[in-house]
């Protein structure tokens, strides 16, 4: 049975930080399709359209009939561990810090055999197991076999924790804790076992409903943070930037307006100042500090979460300037993901539909409750995925966007 994770000891400040190392990242072009599915929480393998063969590892052609008509379909992941071994040495610098490692061969019920990391609670071969696909520190898809049924403290397994960003015993910064979403995030993170939660607050003289209860939580500390002010962001980064393990940027400016609905550019400028330039200020101030300590042996910096909008994928004309600011933030977040990848820090993009808050009062249901959004963000960190689409509206629009983005653009005109 996996031992319960203990609170890590404080790092000796005199000792230098280790340089971050990554697992091998080389993959074929075909294997990148598997990684793309894993980034959204799906375990998929290639199916041949002509002969029905399921194959692994991914290839450019079917190994049975040489057809190139290969489709990606979900896999259940259940199978049997047929052999296992314990690796005591590795030539890869990343794995030298993790040995000994359990590895095993698993025959899936689809009659294919895969090589996977073994969870510490997996029994010796032969035994039933569940294979899950995760992203490793380099952002590539890897497989890990879990016991057939959940066990106590299963999420505390050392190898599984390397593949996820579980908030347990980690320090988190929430950039806007005054909003309904921010308060829900702080509570959800506290329930998930976060060691410290810094609650960013702009305009501290304003006290929204429920904020007093939030400040009374023992692991929550209110800090001043105004994303439109570079000095404010830099001062906070100088104070806590070297301690933040997970940064959640949920601050946004949201007004329902199209291009011609309101004269002038003040609203659009205000949305860009927070939704886009605010993210850039955070990345410039907190990014270097988080990358520098990404290899900390106790609790490394592990994730950066951006709460965007499903309308970043396809603009909603009635919220045109807001959609544009979120689309700009999405583009910037993709650049940030590429830069943070070299330190093994996962950038998670969240694409919710309309959130049930003060700025969507006139939007008809269904709307996403802030508490549901917060739970989805925590689960994404625990599962180690990159992109999530919480809520019925987001799921529906994302499905249509994947099928035909141009058709969705026309459909959004009538929303």
pLDDT band at 301 (very low <50, low <70, confident <90, very high): confident
Q: What is the pLDDT of residue 15?
A: 65
Q: What is the pLDDT of residue 221?
A: 95
What is the pLDDT confidence band of residue 16, given thresholds at 50, 70 and 90? low
327: nearest Cα among 337, 316, 317, 313: 313
**For residue 93, what pLDDT is reported?**
86
- For residue 374, pLDDT over 80 is answered with yes
- Assess whether pLDDT exceeds 80 at residue 371: yes
Least confident of 32-41, 57-66, 150-159, 177-186: 150-159
What is the pLDDT, as a whole number, of residue 18?
67
Mean pLDDT of the chain, nearest integer: 91
Which residues are 108's β-sheet partners? 79
Asked if residue 382 lies in contact with residue 41, where contact means CB atoms within 8 angstroms, the answer is: no
- Reply yes or no on whether the pLDDT at 227 is more than 80: yes
pLDDT, tens digit, for every residue of 194-220? 999 999 999 877 788 888 888 888 899
Of the two residues 342 and 25, the one the predictor is more confident about is 342
- Of the two residues 140 and 297, the one the predictor is more confident about is 140
Which pLDDT belongs to residue 195?
93
Q: In the CATH scheme, what is the code of domain 171-412?
A: 3.40.50.720
Q: What is the rounded CA–CA span in Å between residue 46 and residue 60?
A: 10
Give me the mean pLDDT over the 187-196 stretch.
95
HSE of 84 in the Cβ direction (CA atoms, 13 Å)?
A: 21
Question: Domain coordinates of the chain in residue numbers?
Answer: 29-162, 171-412
pTM above 0.75, yes or no: yes
Residue 59 contacts residue 112 (beta carbons within 8 Å): no
User: How far apart (Å, rounded) are the C-alpha atoms in residues 191 and 34?
Assistant: 32
pLDDT at residue 12, as a whole number: 63
CA distance 227 to 233: 6
Three-class DSSP category at 376: helix
Q: Do residues 236 and 278 lie in contact, with contact meaning Cβ atoms separated by under 8 Å? A: no
Q: Read off the pLDDT of each residue in 357-379 and give the average, rounded to a whole number.
A: 89
Beta bridge partners of 249: 306
Q: Where are the beta strands (DSSP E) in 328-369?
A: 346-350
Q: What digits encode the pLDDT tens for the residues 112-133?
A: 999 999 999 999 989 999 999 9
**CATH architecture, domain defined by 29-162:** Beta Barrel (2.40)
Please indicate whether the domains covering 29-162 and 171-412 agree at the CATH topology level. no
Average pLDDT over residues 303-309: 97
Give the Cα separation of 158 and 341 in Å (integer).
20
The percent helix, strand, coil of the chain (3-state, each to 5) is 35, 20, 45
Q: Which two tokens stand for residue 103?
A: 């590895």
Using 50, 70 and 90 to split pLDDT, how confident is the model at 109?
A: very high
């Amino acid at each position: 049975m996996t031992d319960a994770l203990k609170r890590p000891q404080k790092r000796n400040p005199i000792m230098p930080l280790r340089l971050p190392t990554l697992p091998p990242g080389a993959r074929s072009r075909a294997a990148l399709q598997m990684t793309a599915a894993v980034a959204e929480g799906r375990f998929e393998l290639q199916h041949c359209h002509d002969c029905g063969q399921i194959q692994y590892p991914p290839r450019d052609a079917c190994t049975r009939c040489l057809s190139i008509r290969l489709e990606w379909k979900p896999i259940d992941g259940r199978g049997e561990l047929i052999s296992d071994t314990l690796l005591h040495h590795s030539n890869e610098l990343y794995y030298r810090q993790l040995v000994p490692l359990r590895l095993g061969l698993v025959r899936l019920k689809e009659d294919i055999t895969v090589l996977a990391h073994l969870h510490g609670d997996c029994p010796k071969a032969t035994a039933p197991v569940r294979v899950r696909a995760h992203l490793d520190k380099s952002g590539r898809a890897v497989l890990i076999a879990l016991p057939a049924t959940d066990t106590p403290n299963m999420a505390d397994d050392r190898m599984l924790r390397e593949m996820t960003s579980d908030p347990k015993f980690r320090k988190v910064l929430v950039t806007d804790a005054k909003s309904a979403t921010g308060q829900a995030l702080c509570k959800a993170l506290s329930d998930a076992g976060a060691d410290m939660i810094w609650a960013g607050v702009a305009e501290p003289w304003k006290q929204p409903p429920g904020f007093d209860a939030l400040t009374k939580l023992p692991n929550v500390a209110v800090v001043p943070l105004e994303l439109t002010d570079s000095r404010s962001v830099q001062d906070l980064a100088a104070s806590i930037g070297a301690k933040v393990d997970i940064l959640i940027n949920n601050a946004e400016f949201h007004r329902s307006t199209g291009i011609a609905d309101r004269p002038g550019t003040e609203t659009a400028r205000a949305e860009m100042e927070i939704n886009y330039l605010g993210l850039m200020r955070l990345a410039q101030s907190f990014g270097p500090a988080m990358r520098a300590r990404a290899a900390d042996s106790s609790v490394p910096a592990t994730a950066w979460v951006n709460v965007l909008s499903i309308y970043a994928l396809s603009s909603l004309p009635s919220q045109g300037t807001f959609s544009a600011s979120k689309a700009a933030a999405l583009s910037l977040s993709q650049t940030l993901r590429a830069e943070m990848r070299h330190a093994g820090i996962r950038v998670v993009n969240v694409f919710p539909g309309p959130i049930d808050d003060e700025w969507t009062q006139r939007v008809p249901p269904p709307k996403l409750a802030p508490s549901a959004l917060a739970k989805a963000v925590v689960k994404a960190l625990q599962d180690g995925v990159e992109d999530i689409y919480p809520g019925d509206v987001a799921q529906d629009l994302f499905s249509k966007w994947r099928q035909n983005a141009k058709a969705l653009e026309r459909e959004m005109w009538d929303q």
